[in-house]
Amino acid sequence: MKVRVKFFATLHDMTGRRELNLEAREGLTVSELYRDLCARFPRLADYSSILMYSVNAEYVPADYPLGDGDEVAFIPPVSGGAHAH
Q: Are 66 and 3 in contact (CB under 8 A)?
A: yes
In a domain, 83, yes or no: no
Domain count, the chain: 1
> Does residue 85 carry a pLDDT above 90?
no
| pTM, 2 dp | 0.86
| CATH number of residue 25's parent domain | 3.10.20.30
In a domain, 81, yes or no: no
Q: pLDDT for 37-80, tens place per residue?
A: 999 999 999 988 888 999 999 999 999 999 999 999 998 886 55
70 by Cβ neighbours in 10 Å (0-12 / 13-18 / 19+) ranks as buried
